[in-house]
Structure 1
Amino acid sequence: MSARTETPSPPVSATELDVREALLAPGAPYELVETVAGGRTVRVYRHAPASLRAVLEGVRAHGDRDALVYEAERLTYHDLYTQVATLAHVLRDDLGVTKGDRVAIAMRNVPELVITFWAAHALGAIAVPLNAWWTGSELQWAVEDCAPAVLVADGERWKRLRTAAGSDDALPTTVVTRTDEAVPAPHRRWDRLLASAPSYDALPPCDVEPDDPATIIYTSGTTGRPKGALATHRNHTTLMMTVGFQAEVGRQIAGDDAVAPTPTAQPAMLNPFPLFHIGGVSSVYNAAAGGMKMVLMYRWDTDEALGLCVREEITALVLVPTMLRRLLTSPALPAYDLSRVSSIGIGGSPGATELVDLVLRRVGPQVSINHGYGMTETTSSAVQQSGAAVRANPQVAGLPVPGAEVKLVDDSGSEVATGEVGEVWVRGPQVVAGYWTPGETESAFSDGWFHSGDLGVFDAAGRLRLVDRLKDVVIRGGENVYPAEVERVLGAHPDVAEVAVVAVPDPDLGEAVAAVVVPHEGEQVDVDALRTLASAELAAFKVPSVWHVRHAPLPRNPSGKVLKRDVRDWASAAR
């Protein structure tokens, strides 16, 4: 990987840096202190909850406020706590779950998923959400990999698993919900299991420490088997504190001309984000800590989402970029009042500038946009910015979050100079303990540093801008072409809905730059116009020489990332 210098972006305002410094100072709400975690010294929030169990104990203070809304179902925080306590006792007393055991969860976004998460944490067990989109054989593989003491599944996932396993005896003890079918022993139906148990208003006793394991979240990798990232309670509570920190930074740098959202009785989050993904898992914890109402969706539907925003007075949107773009470009959007929405998150991917502009124009100037970069292995955001900082510099992911160390390295592991491209490495209390599967950790972690496989560049103010995935770089005749840069240029054309740039084999250059372009529905794209646009903005070696127009959405994984391997295979075959 050769070094490459990037054009610097505008400086960070003194106000933003001053606000961050004040919030992190001794005695401040987000004060940082040193502690030993995972055998090394890290900087952590002094006032972070000791564990997720401690967060759960705190939800009783929210009382009769709404906790979960799903279709016609509605649970208050009192209901949530009581059901979690009851399930925790059942898991321990009836099903034998103890501290350190795995509790696998296979279901769509329904209340039982959230209840099971918290019940596992109450016992010091490890919650393992499985991808609800997986086939039966994929689910079976994950169950065998994590070896849970108990599996909790909805009826649809239960059917897939039974078919794949071939025998009920091949599955761990399973609690099945959302089904009308009989469930053979020793497996149990959720409704009958809980109906036969007494109601509890206190959790079973258990000592849970900050560095105890809390979750195994399988990465939605684009190649090979998924890897289970083993996160601790400290990882998750650190992220919770960072969310509050960034929100406060955004509020304080908003300026006197900031537009206030329409008031609501309770902050409310619309969350169709898959709860088997780190973003969805984190939202469960953040909503509970803040006493928010979380509105779940079984699957994404733009019109339904708009209706929920109004009926449930949604203040925060947790969406993957594809969902957000569909909502913002919906012809029906002007008919819905979204003036209560005060917070929207946007990932650090190409196209953020376009999304920021769409949010401000189509939702309103009252929205504080949160923009960042992170992944499962960093328990979500490792780099972030909020509010006015996003509006000023939407092309960057932001500054490292408190406690996180972020560096960029070359092929030898040496740090690159400011303005040069390098692989992003992250270390700190956000970084997971490693992977569940033996042997996987060593290839991606060294001395606490997680090797992301992403390429980025720091500007003079220390803000990170993502360039691309290391493995996705096109090496054209010895020159490195970063697809994200080309995608950013082509994606700005008004006729382009989606674009992916990949390498295809070339007998002369080794690799050629190929662009797969998806026009807006019912529209056409002029390849010559796109080529002219690219030639005006990019060096000649970066301009695609292979073009394909595709009238179907690009393939994506559950977290919304384009499956470049699939695009590459398709482009190579169609060339």
Structure 2
Amino acid sequence: MNRHDVVGMVTSEKAPWELQEVEVTGASQKWFVNGPQSLRQLYEDNLSDEPFYAYEDECYTFHEIYRMAASLAQQLQSRYGVKHGDRVAIAMRNYPEWPIALEAITSIGAIAVAINAWWLPEEIDYAFKLTGVTVVIADQERIERISHIAPESTPDIIAVRAAPSDSTTPIETLTSSNDPMPSVGIHPDDNAVILFTSGSTGHPKGSVSTHRNILAALLSWEVDFVTQFIMENGEFDQEKIGSAAKSQSTALLAMPLFHVNGLHAVLLAAFRMQRKIISMYKWDAATAADIIDKEGISIFVGTPAMTGDLVEYAKRSHRNLESLRSTGGGGSARATSQVKDIGQSLKNAAPFTGWGMTETNSIGTGIYGADYLKNPKSSGMCSAVLEISTIDEQGSFLPPGDRGELVVRGTSVIHGYWNQPQANTESFVGEWFRTGDVAYINDGHLYVVDRIKQLIIRGGENIGCGEVEDALLDHPEVIEASVYGVPDDRLGETVAATLYINADAKKVAISDYLHSRLAKFKVPEYLKLCTKQLPRIASGKIDKRRLRQEHIGDLGLPFDSHQ
């Protein structure tokens, strides 16, 4: 059977992942009728004494996290007056208090606002004002930044792992009771979480996800897992599938929980799998490798930069991290050479990736194992609850194989941004969401060429940054690459790149190599080499904007802010 047939079987009538058409805001969408109908039900259906969330020398079971969440939820209602639909912010590192806060907020019908932990005071202030936050649950670092915000704009603060203060309330005083979770009715289409998009210019947008949006993503990943199992083993055996799922019982959390992949693909995906999560203080490949070996980590979800770091460290240290069963994630395209390196350097880890966005709740397409090794430039095939297509500049749909802007619609796609009607108008065409990605679809597989705003237009020729980066990363001396356009008086723009290289790499050799791989006009005119890891933004992606600014400054070129 092909993938389409297997997905049809897995989601058919009376199957565990049965899909039915339901009406959502006037549109017909596919919905898992046997799954949880709210995040609260997700938490409560999966309570157990199995270990759930570990951080350094602390470890909490599913029951323990929920008990503290119930106590906090009672206090949010009685002490802070939080009601259904109110916004409560979470601003902290990936401490155990993060899932406690999330469970408490979403279990009483309030909306969890995930604050980027790297933001400065003015950015935090903007998010508070945009969403109308009334309470923030924050750690010491974030409290110090919030202290620079005008008092009249500052919500009530619940302090996490922070110094005593008259202006805050320690969270441990609010989580110590055995009070039951307050009784609140929650509809699948109630808003649950606001995540902020990480645009390189202007203010971030608050992407609003309902309970249904998020749950559709979580159960779609399960469909993908079961489909892959059946295609590899040739049978739909529930006991064997359950055993395979149990083998992926520990996950390393290195991505921040304010990022959709960290929140959805790691934290929330853990409940039905009864998966233990080991949370890192911050990303470091050597530390991650030590944790993987010590804790027997079986699944790692990270950006390509993170998985690249891990593969490079495994190669240098001659460690195969044999407990890993699957390694990958999304966030940006993974170089062809890195896909092969995962299979070669990590003994038992099947590589996977996918395309998704904050606005699609992290799902979209996925590709796994042998199919990924066969099609390393592909982002995979479409999720069971979504549809994808491409459109031209006039908004007309394109045939398969033609490049255009990727659009998506379906159950996991948000209905809009919080209090930003202009952004909604620009982003939606009817039910279809405009992703801003340049892509084409061939034989059911999605191939993302680039972001529209990351196209370099050199003398009228369009150059995709991703294509040049992929070629650079295939060079044996190049570890990381970031490609961007810089101003050019004659051509408008020309190609430049910053590279993290092995110490003995030479510009001439890299340039000669590229000339054998790319058309001449695509080869970077300017290369900047360094022997340390490239800087990241909070989500773990390489900070392309910063690198471009620095390189333009080094070259003495006039700076423009179009990227």
* Structure-2-length-normalised TM-score: 0.92
Q: Confirm whether residue 35 of structure 1 aligns to residue 22 of structure 2.
A: yes
Alignment check: 8 A CA contact 1:385 1:397 kept: yes
Alignment deviations for residues 237-267 of structure 1 (CA, whole Å, 9 cap, x no partner): 00110111111122223359xxxx9998881
Distance 2:310 2:365 in 1: 26
1:397-431 C-alpha deviation (Å, 9 max, x unpaired): 01110121111111111122322211111111111
CA distance in 1, matches of 2:41, 2:206: 25
Show the counterpart of 1:393: 375
2:527 is paired with a residue whose SS is: strand
**d(CA) in 2 for partners of 1:548, 1:337:** 32
Q: Which residue of 2 aligns with 1:107?
A: 92
Which aligned pairs between 1:15-94 and structure 2 lie closer than 5 A? 15-60=2-47, 63-94=48-79
Match of 1:199 in 2: 178
Query: Which of 491, 497, 516 matches 1:536?
Result: 516
Deviations 1:276-303 (A, max 9, x none): 0101110221112221111111112333
Aligned length: 547
Equivalent position of 1:498 in the other structure: 480
- Seen in structure 2, the aligned counterparts of structure 1 residues 539 and 301 have a Cα distance that, compared at 3 Å, is closer
The answer (yes or no) to whether the contact 2:111–2:194 under 8 Å persists in 1 is yes
On the 8 A contact 2:314/2:346 being kept in 1, the answer is no
The CA deviation at 1:49 is 1.5
Matched, 1:304 2:287: yes
SS in 2 for 1:384: strand
CA RMSD of aligned residues (A): 2.4
> What per-residue deviation string (whole Å, max 9, x for no partner) do you get for residues 322-353 of structure 1?
22222222158767673332222232633343
Aligned AA (1:566): R
Separation (CA, whole Å) in 2 of partners of 1:348 and 1:319: 8
- 2: CA distance, partners of 1:182 / 1:529: 59
Contact 2:255 2:540 survives alignment (8 Å): no
Once the two structures are superposed, what CA deviation does each residue of 1:361-415 show, in whole Å capped at 9, x if it has no partner?
A: 2222x33332100110110021112232212212100111012111111111112
| Residue in 2 that maps onto 1:160 | 145
User: How big is the shift at 1:111?
Assistant: 0.5
Q: Is the 8 A contact 1:222 1:563 kept in 2?
A: no
Say which SS state the counterpart of residue 125 (structure 2) adopts: helix
Which of residues 439, 443, 450 is equivalent to 1:456? 439
Specify the alignment match of 1:350 in structure 2.
333
2:495–2:522: 8 Å Cα contact kept in structure 1? yes
Contact in 2 for aligned 1:254/1:387 (Cα 8 Å): no
Residue number among 85, 103, 119 corresponding to 2:104 in the alignment:
119
Among 189, 197, 204, the alignment partner of 2:170 is 189
Q: Equivalent residue for 1:240?
A: 218
Q: Which residue of 1 aligns with 2:157?
A: 174
Asked if the contact 1:250/1:388 (under 8 Å) is kept, the reply is no
Contact 1:263 1:340 in 2 (8 A): no
Q: After TM superposition, where is structure 1 displaced by more than 4 Å over at least 4 residues in a row?
A: 261-266, 331-337
Q: State the one-letter code of the partner of 1:563.
A: D
Answer yes or no: is the 8 Å Cα contact 1:348–1:371 preserved in 2. Answer: no
1:397/1:491 Cα in 2 relative to 1: closer, same or farther (>3 Å)?
same
Say yes or no: does 1:525 pair with 2:525. Answer: no
Per the alignment, residue 5 of structure 1 pairs with none
SS in 2 for 1:194: coil
Alpha-carbon contact 1:310-1:336 (below 8 Å) kept: no
Paired position in structure 1 for 2:406: 424
SS at match of 2:143: helix
After TM superposition, give the deviation of residue 309 of structure 1 in Å.
1.6
1:371 aligns with 2:371: no
Which sits farther off after the overlay, 388-397 or 320-329? 320-329
Q: Which amino acid aligns with 1:145?
A: L
Taking the aligned partners of 2:248 and 2:417, their CA distance within structure 1 comes to 38
Match of residue 9 from structure 1: none
Structure 2 equivalent of residue 566 of structure 1: 546
Q: 1:332 to 1:83 in 2, by over 3 A?
A: farther
> Residues 176 and 188 of structure 1 are in contact (CA less than 8 Å); yes or no, is this contact kept in structure 2?
yes
Change (3 A) 1:16 1:263: closer
After superposition, where does 1:264-413 map in structure 2 within 5 Å? 267-282=249-264, 283-330=266-313, 338-347=321-330, 349-364=332-347, 366-413=348-395
Kindly, what percent of the aligned residue pairs are identical? 34
Structure-1 residue corresponding to 2:561: none
Question: Secondary structure at the residue paired with 1:243?
Answer: helix
Q: Which runs of 5+ in 2 are unaligned?
A: 235-242, 556-563
Question: Per the alignment, in what secondary structure is the counterpart of residue 380 of structure 1?
Answer: coil
Once structures 1 and 2 are overlaid, which stretch shifts more, 394-403 or 338-347? Answer: 338-347
The question of whether the paired residues in 1 share the 8 Å contact of 2:335 and 2:474 is answered with no
- TM-score, normalization by structure 1: 0.90
1:3 is matched with none
What letter matches 2:145 in structure 1? R
Distance 1:515 1:94 in 2: 54
> What residue number does 1:548 align with?
528
Q: Equivalent residue for 1:4?
A: none
- 8 A contact 1:306–1:333 mirrored in 2: no
SS in 1 for 2:516: helix
- Aligned with residue 444 of structure 1, among 427, 432, 445: 427
Q: Check the 8 A contact 1:318/1:345 in 2, yes or no.
A: yes
Paired residue type of 1:102:
R
Rounded to whole Å, the distance in 1 between the matches of 2:410 and 2:481 is 34
Residue 220 of structure 1 pairs with residue 205 of structure 2: no
CA contact (8 A) 1:251 1:387 kept: no
Q: Secondary structure at the match of 2:83?
A: coil
